[in-house]
Amino acid sequence: MTEQRPQETETSPERAAELRRLAQEKKDERQVWIFLAYFLFGIHIIAFVMIYAVKHGN
């Protein structure tokens, strides 16, 4: 009744490659979100500095 398929009990090279690809994709996506966060934060800092310069300039 409880049959185990040989492909499920041991990791095949294709499955290992797929797991590596998924792990790399997750890492890359996290790096993109971090880059986007820093970029948006930087744009806001520049905007605040420009607003300050315009309001306090003569």
pLDDT of the residue at 11: 79
pLDDT of the residue at 9:
54
Distance between CA atoms of residues 26 and 19, nearest Å: 11
Tokens of 13: 């090279």
Please state, in angstroms and rounded to a whole number, the distance separating the CA atoms of residues 38 and 44. 10
Q: pLDDT tens digits for 3-48?
A: 665 555 567 989 999 999 999 999 999 999 999 999 999 999 999 9
H-only helix segments in the chain: 6-9, 13-56
Q: Identify the band that residue 55 occupies on the pLDDT scale cut at 50, 70 and 90.
A: very high
